[in-house]
Structure 1
Amino acid sequence: MKKMGINEIRSKFTEFFREKDHYIAKSHSLIPSDDKSLLLINSGMAPLKKYFSGLETPPKARMSTVQKCIRTGDIENVGVTARHATFFEMMGNFSFADYFKEEAIQYAWEFITKYLNMPEEKLWVTVYESDDEAYDIWKNIVGFPEERIVRLGKEDNFWEIGLGPCGPCSEIYFDKGESYGCGCEDCKPGCDCDRYLEFWNLVFTQFNKEEDGSYSELKNKNIDTGMGLERMGCIMQEVDTIFEVDTIDRIIQKTSEYANKKYGEDPVSDKSIRIVTDHIRSVAFMIGDGILPSNEGRGYVLRRLLRRAARHGKLLGIENAFLNKLVDVVIETSGEAYPELVEKEAYIKKVISIEEEKFAETLQQGLDILKKHTEEMQERGEKIVSGEHAFKLYDTYGFPIDLTEEILMEEGLKVDLEGFDKEMEAQKNRARAARGNQEGEAWKEDPLSELDDVESKFDGYSNLEINSPIKVIVIDSELSDNIESNQKGEIILEETTFYANGGGQVGDKGQITSENGIFEVEDTVKGTNGSIKHIGFMKEGKFNTGDIVQTHVNKSLRMDAARNHSATHILHKVLKDVLGEHVNQAGSLVDPYRLRFDITHFEQITKDELKTIENLVNEKIFESLTINAETMNIKEAKEKGAVALFGEKYREVVRVVQMGDFSTELCGGTHLENTSQIGLFKIISESGIAAGVRRIEAITGRAVYNHLLAKEQIISDLTDTLKTKEDNLFARANQIVEENKKMEKELHSIQSKMNMQMADDIIEQKVDVNGVNLITNKYEGMDMDSLREVADNLRDKVENSVVVVANISDDKINFVATVSSEAIKKGAHAGNLVREIAKIAGGKGGGRPNMAQAGASDINMVDKALSTAKEILETQVK
């Protein structure tokens, strides 16, 4: 058996199935498309479920892919063992009601024996216990030795996920030799020992699992196979673990070099090296597909992997940021197969660098918080940090529990690990509950999937009206022959001028009419198998399937949406010019009223930058650039310099929208004929919506005009209120502000004098607490500066004193506590004192020994809270 590298195996697999007349699809993004049941793509068939379920028609009835996948269900085991990994590639061939068991088995056998030259005597196969058909194909057609065909039960050789399509499997195994076995004479596939390695699973989807638990035969049978590329690499390179195959070993060696350690000498270091190696592969591919670090969803998975890798880099003794450098090795080994890694190299490195830097900051922040907490514990004589607090450090600051344990041990303290585990499990349960068991939903069919021909032709780029027959009517998720007055439903036409939502642009609105009635279209969306669904209600009359009707797109709304859409193309290019080429579209919304544009950028866009961006966009509008749209194949479009949107999948034939020589993008949306039709462009807001993602909201055309009218009205109202002319408005406003400041200063001075005069009366009410003078008082309507000043004055007037004052304002309480140096020496602590007082009134706070403040909400408890000051102070000074 000739040794083969990972890239050669992948290439041979693709070449083989191309020769077998399969459509070779590129790997889908790790971000699932229209599949809420998955956080990340975790198998070769996952992106193809829409084809298996009949929701969409595949590009060809036989397909093959090499799919990048992420699985994080057992992330804690990655590194601990040499088998687990989060990132892997799954090779697969698929048939959608084309070939079935005989061809699938023969293809698999031919590939592994003729293309990979695997020794036949080392191969074993398993089949489902009652699948005589598969057994006979292996035995009689392939000629596989009967003694190496093993029948296994449902747990091993039957594939199903909830309800829907399912079926038996046949798996192919490689015999690694007796030295890996258990010594049992009857050792064979199905045994728990490590001798037999399963490397290719052939799934024969021939049944449908019904709600009552029964299985019915599918009319259209499918094939779904999966072979792990890294696992096959282990066999072909005669190594024991995936971390020894050529492409991954390159990363292992580079990581070892950075750590100045030799892999294989120390189990502790080896674990950290494996974690870094695996995680950097996942991280590079995830960022390359447009995922950014965040605190939820797939962004949280990315952040967790990044931080875990960075943490183990620290454990290896690597002090400086290094993960972004490791990306070079990932690209060197996988860039040819996955060109998006090469295209996004600078971007991937930038995201990793920023996240490494942030983690370094949060790591120190976590250390500071832990130190403060342990100091408070020691003051209270406590020895065990609660699991809740340890989990907060882990969850909020990415603070590893092992590091928490290590630091606490140095202080003679422990952590409640059982409590930590409970908090971790509670979080997992919350995540499961939030995600729900939606796997079954992924297979759920809609009524249109029952029909062979529901595709709608869109002819609305230049036309807003067209005559077309009604193909399908759907009411309450059921097919119907007609729709009558006041009924809500969906209409599918043979041809339509209504744009269905896509590319960030919302669907058109308008009417569908005939002499028999009027259907009010409230939204237009894409449906099953290329259909375009007009959603709305029958305003009057009645439509039947087959009726010839006329479309009437709302022209005003279409034009306003087109203004916003064309503006986003100009904005995208301007953002790259002003902020840098790292900017990529991360999402958008285009409707008739505004545009929302999300971009990858790592800091707030300054006011000056926003002004420049807005000016440049308007300059391109004023230049009256011609907008052209034409269809071409994807290769021509890229040669033309068309910008493809991050994470989007495109067909072979694409639509290219060009605005003069300034902007060229792939886009299926509706646009204007000239940029001057946009009118004006105005940025309304800029904000951050996730780590590394900024959002710009803007308006165009008539919305800008209405915006100006509103501003004009505000100015008019202000001139009337301030009794001045428009050109003097700013000066008048400044004058009023200065007058207010002067009045506030005078009022503060008067209040201070009054408070000083009242001080003697308050001091007379002081209470002796074990030799310390306690002074308390309540105020109303006082600002915080005045409250602090009153407290300081009272403290300075009385030696060895503790002062606690409260103020009620706007149904809220503010407490201030201040302690003299003599009282501190006796044990008084302002922070601890005010914290306990505030609790009585439903509040919290704290601070330093000499000065602290707190807030509370229950104004009915302020007197009781102040009255507890004596009791609390008694516990401090003894």
Structure 2
Amino acid sequence: MRKMGLNEIREEYLKFFESKDHLRLPSFSLVPQSDKSLLLINAGMAPLKPYFTGLQVPPSKKITTCQKCIRTGDIDNVGKTSRHGTFFEMLGNFSFGDYFKNEIIPWAWEFVTEVLGVPKDKLYATIYLEDDEAYEIWANKTDIDPSRIFRLGKDDNFWEIGQGPCGPCSEIHFDRGNGKINTVEEFLKSAEEDRVVEFWNLVFTQFDKDEEGVYHRLPNPNIDTGMGLERIATIMQGVNNIFEVDTIKSILDEVCKLANVKYGDINKNDVSIRIITDHIRSMTFMISDGVLPSNEGRGYVLRRILRRAARHGRLLGISSTFLHELCDVAIENSKDAYPELKEKRDFIKKVIKLEEERFEETIDSGIQILKDFIEELQNKGINTLAGDKAFKLYDTYGFPLELTLEILEEKSMSVDIDSFNREMQSQRERARAAREESNYMGSEDSILNRIPSELNTAFVGYDSLVCESKVSLLIKDEEFVSLLKEGDKGIIITEETPFYAEMGGQVGDKGLIASNTFKAEVLDCKKNILGKTLHFVNIIEGSVELNSNVTLKVDEARRNSIRKNHTATHMLHEALKLVLGEHVNQAGSYVDDSRLRFDFTHFSAVSEEELKKIEHIVNENIMKVYSVDTNIMSIDEAKQSGAVALFDEKYKDEVRVVAVGDFSKELCGGTHVKNSGEIGLFRIVSEAGVAAGVRRIEAVSGLNALNYIEEKNELLKEAAVSLRCLERDVINKILSQAAELKEKEKEILELKRKIAGSVEEKLLNNVKEVKGVKLVAAALKDIDGDSLRDLADKIRDNIKDGVVVLGSAYSGKVQLVAMASKTAVNKGVHCGKIVKEVAAVTGGGGGGRPDMAQAGGKLPEKLEEALNIVEQILDTLVK
């Protein structure tokens, strides 16, 4: 058995199945497409679900892939053992109703023994207990020793999740030990002790399990195999775990170098080294597929692993940000198999660095909050932090539970772990609820997904907005019907259509479908998961039957406005790159007839000056009246031509490239103007942040841009009339009035302070004493917060040894302040406790330090009553 690198094994596997007439597909994005049951792709077959269910037709009946995957279910164990990881690659070969057991079992044996050269006396195969067919093939179509085939039960060798497609499987195992295993009992014991390692699972999807639990044979059984690339690499390289595999070890070695530690010396350090090594792979691949750190969904997964890695860098003594540099090693390891890593290197590093810096800030905030919690516990004589508080630190501030436990341990304190776990479980349930439930294959059991696959609609809407066609399908109320009549709402499918179906951020067309017997208003146009074009209609006259000849007519004015906005979106994208930098990538878009919305990757607010430049560049190129040309070419030709592709889009072999002169070039299936001059005018309406590292621009074009300018002009005219000045003098008039107002406010404030000053003398003449502590408590009117604090400060200075509690009814609310001298505090006075009780009477709350505290209330009429209890409160506090 020759030693093979991880990258070499991957290539050999894919080449092998290509030699067996499989279509090699590149790895799908880690972000699931049209599958709301998953946050992230977690298995090789996950992106292929629609092919297994028949919802979509595969590009080939035989496919092979190496799929990048993320699993975070046992993230807390990552690092603690050398077996767990969050990122892995899954080698797979798939048959969609083509070959079955007779082919895959001999192929698998051939690849393992002849291509990889694994010794046959180190291999075992397991099959499902009742799968005689698989046993016969292993025994007669390979040269495995039959005594090395073990029959196991459902738990080990039968694949099913609830009802739906399922079937037996056969696993191939490698024996790390010496001597032959002779019985099933010995085999199971060896597997439990990790002597025997399963590395390839061949799933034979041959049944459909119904609600009663009955297994029905599928007419076209499928093959779904999965071999963990990292796991087979450990076998081929003769190492004990994934962290010793060549590509992964190169990351581990770099972590050790950065931290100046040696792997294997101290277990605590090893845990941190493994966590960083694993997590840097996950975050690098996730960001390359367009995932950005956030507080929900897959963005939260990314934030969690990134911050976890950063935290363990601190534990190793790495004081500065380092992950953004470490990701270079992960990129270099995998750039040949995943060229997008190299293409997006700068962007990946920028995202990681920014999140590291944010974590530096939040972890410091978290430590301060935890210190406050500790002080509160010490004051109450409690040594266990409530689980909800620990969870708030974890969830809101990104503060790891391990760090909370560590800091509390130093103070002989702990966390209510059960309560923390309940909070964590609640969050998981909320996240699960946010993902739509689905059946085994993540598909919706809807009439729309049962449309015959052979039924297709040709789109002619790039060149024409009107066409004649035949009705091929009618749907109403989740049923296929033969007739739609006046008043019905339903779906019409035709053989041809000029209607653009919502896709790529562009909304669907509206318009009419009619004949001499009926008229239907097209309310929307969408595609189902099979890619069938659906016209959602309201029948306003007559009736329509199957196979009727009809005329389809798109609303031309609306389509024209959409086209202008769509082409303007492409031009905006290019202008953003020119002004802000090449790191800008599209993160989402929406185009309808009234506006356009464009989300893009950028790490700070776009300044007014930058927005002006962007808007100017777009308008300047509109006025150059560039021809807008579309060309069909291969994906490689498109990329070589400089066309911009979307971050995580999966493209077909042939793509449509839209070029606006020599200014902009993008892959796009949408509708566009014939030349940039048709857009007329472009105006940016707003710019804002929508997520960490993602900004959003909303804009208008054409007549909508003109209307926007006219609305602004009307506002300017109204402002000029209200201010009684010329339009050109509006700004100066506003500034002048603002300055006058500021002066008036100063005068009012000064008057209030004088009033407060006159009150000071009266208050000093009404000093009380409680257990030797002087007290001034009074209710005032129309004194603002600043003046109230100044007054309290002066009175405290005057009485020297005592307490001042003042309240003011101001602007319909209550403001309270309490101040105490140092000697009063030493006697037990605590201003925070005083104002908390006083404020409660006025329907409010507050608190603060022993020597100074503030509060507020909602009931000014209760102020006198509230301040009357100060003497009583003070009596309980003073020792």
> 1:13: how far off?
0.7
Partner of 1:728: 729
* SS of residue in 2 equivalent to 1:511: strand
Partner of 1:685: 686
Letter paired with 2:570: H
Contact 1:88 1:230 (8 Å CA) reproduced: yes
Query: Aligned equivalents of 2:180 and 2:343: distance in 1?
Result: 43
In structure 2, relative to structure 1, the CA distance for the partners of 1:634 and 1:185 (3 Å cut) is closer
Deviates more, 1:111-120 or 1:758-767: 758-767
In structure 2, relative to structure 1, the CA distance for the partners of 1:867 and 1:668 (3 Å cut) is farther
Letter paired with 2:744: M
Contact 1:64 1:93 (8 Å CA) reproduced: yes
Contact 2:86 2:279 (8 Å CA) reproduced: yes
Query: Aligned equivalents of 1:248 and 1:344: distance in 2?
Result: 21
* SS of residue in 2 equivalent to 1:390: helix
What do residues 66-107 of structure 1 show as CA deviations (whole Å, max 9, x unaligned)? 000000000111111111110000011111111122122222
Partner of 2:530: 529
Deviates more, 1:548-557 or 1:785-794: 785-794
> 1:63: how far off?
0.7
Percent identical among aligned pairs is 51
Partner of 2:218: 218
Contact 1:54 1:445 (8 Å CA) reproduced: no
What do residues 220-250 of structure 1 show as CA deviations (whole Å, max 9, x unaligned)? 3211111111111111112111111111111
Query: Aligned equivalents of 1:55 and 1:323: distance in 2?
Result: 41
Contact 1:679 1:700 (8 Å CA) reproduced: yes
> 1:124: how far off?
1.5
Contact 2:625 2:676 (8 Å CA) reproduced: yes
Query: Aligned equivalents of 2:737 and 2:185: distance in 1?
Result: 97
In structure 2, relative to structure 1, the CA distance for the partners of 1:528 and 1:351 (3 Å cut) is closer
> 1:189: how far off?
8.0
Partner of 1:553: 554
Letter paired with 1:275: I
Partner of 1:747: 748
Query: Aligned equivalents of 2:813 and 2:216: distance in 1?
Result: 67
Contact 1:173 1:189 (8 Å CA) reproduced: no
Letter paired with 1:195: R
Partner of 1:645: 646
What do residues 822-843 of structure 1 show as CA deviations (whole Å, max 9, x unaligned)? 5445443434433443345554
Contact 1:5 1:246 (8 Å CA) reproduced: yes
* SS of residue in 1 equivalent to 2:442: helix
State whether structure 2 residue 359 is matched by structure 1 residue 359.
yes
Partner of 1:87: 87
In structure 2, relative to structure 1, the CA distance for the partners of 1:537 and 1:810 (3 Å cut) is farther
Deviates more, 1:100-109 or 1:422-431: 422-431
Contact 1:449 1:529 (8 Å CA) reproduced: no
Partner of 1:168: 168
What do residues 322-355 of structure 1 show as CA deviations (whole Å, max 9, x unaligned)? 2122212112211111111111111111111111
Contact 2:70 2:86 (8 Å CA) reproduced: yes
State whether structure 2 residue 663 is matched by structure 1 residue 659.
no
Query: Aligned equivalents of 2:283 and 2:833: distance in 1?
Result: 45
Equivalences for 1:92-103 in 2 at 5 Å?
Answer: 92-103=92-103
> 1:806: how far off?
3.5
Contact 2:53 2:441 (8 Å CA) reproduced: no
Equivalences for 1:593-742 in 2 at 5 Å?
Answer: 593-742=594-743
* SS of residue in 2 equivalent to 1:21: coil
> 1:857: how far off?
4.3
Contact 1:627 1:657 (8 Å CA) reproduced: yes
Letter paired with 1:373: F
Letter paired with 2:19: E
Partner of 2:235: 235
State whether structure 2 residue 15 is matched by structure 1 residue 46.
no
Contact 1:633 1:654 (8 Å CA) reproduced: yes
> 1:637: how far off?
0.8
Query: Aligned equivalents of 1:474 and 1:777: distance in 2?
Result: 76
Contact 1:500 1:524 (8 Å CA) reproduced: yes
RMSD across aligned positions (CA): 2.5
Contact 1:812 1:859 (8 Å CA) reproduced: yes
Equivalences for 1:419-434 in 2 at 5 Å?
Answer: 419-434=419-434
In structure 2, relative to structure 1, the CA distance for the partners of 1:835 and 1:529 (3 Å cut) is same
Contact 1:512 1:552 (8 Å CA) reproduced: yes
What do residues 124-175 of structure 1 show as CA deviations (whole Å, max 9, x unaligned)? 2122222222222222333543322222222222212233222221111112
Partner of 2:370: 370
Contact 1:519 1:539 (8 Å CA) reproduced: yes
Letter paired with 1:6: L
Partner of 1:337: 337
> 1:430: how far off?
3.5
Query: Aligned equivalents of 2:706 and 2:180: distance in 1?
Result: 77
Query: Aligned equivalents of 2:386 and 2:664: distance in 1?
Result: 57
What do residues 28-73 of structure 1 show as CA deviations (whole Å, max 9, x unaligned)? 0000011110000000000010111121111111111100000000
State whether structure 2 residue 290 is matched by structure 1 residue 290.
yes
What do residues 169-218 of structure 1 show as CA deviations (whole Å, max 9, x unaligned)? 11111122248999997335885231221111111112222233333222
Partner of 1:469: 470
In structure 2, relative to structure 1, the CA distance for the partners of 1:123 and 1:848 (3 Å cut) is same
Partner of 1:270: 270
Letter paired with 1:846: G
Number of residues of Structure 1 aligned to a counterpart in Structure 2: 878
Query: Aligned equivalents of 2:768 and 2:560: distance in 1?
Result: 77
Question: Structure 2 stretches of 5 or more lacking a match?
Answer: none
* SS of residue in 2 equivalent to 1:238: coil
Letter paired with 2:106: Q
Query: Aligned equivalents of 1:549 and 1:758: distance in 2?
Result: 88
Partner of 2:58: 58
Deviates more, 1:136-145 or 1:303-312: 136-145
Partner of 1:390: 390
In structure 2, relative to structure 1, the CA distance for the partners of 1:191 and 1:246 (3 Å cut) is closer
Contact 2:35 2:443 (8 Å CA) reproduced: no
Contact 1:642 1:665 (8 Å CA) reproduced: yes
Deviates more, 1:740-749 or 1:261-270: 740-749
Query: Aligned equivalents of 2:437 and 2:192: distance in 1?
Result: 30
> 1:5: how far off?
1.1
* SS of residue in 2 equivalent to 1:491: strand
Letter paired with 1:106: P
Letter paired with 1:102: N
Partner of 1:30: 30
What do residues 695-735 of structure 1 show as CA deviations (whole Å, max 9, x unaligned)? 11111122222212222222232233233332332333333
Partner of 1:510: 511
Letter paired with 1:723: R
Letter paired with 2:773: V
Query: Aligned equivalents of 1:704 and 1:188: distance in 2?
Result: 72
Partner of 1:110: 110
Letter paired with 2:197: L
Letter paired with 1:559: N
Partner of 2:68: 68
What do residues 653-697 of structure 1 show as CA deviations (whole Å, max 9, x unaligned)? 100011111111111111111112212211121111111111111
Equivalences for 1:693-842 in 2 at 5 Å?
Answer: 693-759=694-760, 767-779=768-780, 783-792=784-793, 794-795=795-796, 798-808=799-809, 812-842=813-843
TM-score, normalized by length of structure 1?
A: 0.95
> 1:465: how far off?
0.8
Query: Aligned equivalents of 1:282 and 1:653: distance in 2?
Result: 30
In structure 2, relative to structure 1, the CA distance for the partners of 1:837 and 1:340 (3 Å cut) is farther
In structure 2, relative to structure 1, the CA distance for the partners of 1:852 and 1:118 (3 Å cut) is same
Query: Aligned equivalents of 1:10 and 1:341: distance in 2?
Result: 17
Contact 1:150 1:189 (8 Å CA) reproduced: no
What do residues 303-335 of structure 1 show as CA deviations (whole Å, max 9, x unaligned)? 111111111111112222221222121122111
> 1:580: how far off?
1.1
* SS of residue in 1 equivalent to 2:466: coil
Deviates more, 1:261-270 or 1:337-346: 261-270
Query: Aligned equivalents of 1:138 and 1:98: distance in 2?
Result: 20
Query: Aligned equivalents of 2:515 and 2:569: distance in 1?
Result: 36
> 1:379: how far off?
3.9
Deviates more, 1:286-295 or 1:820-829: 820-829
State whether structure 2 residue 296 is matched by structure 1 residue 312.
no
In structure 2, relative to structure 1, the CA distance for the partners of 1:395 and 1:858 (3 Å cut) is farther
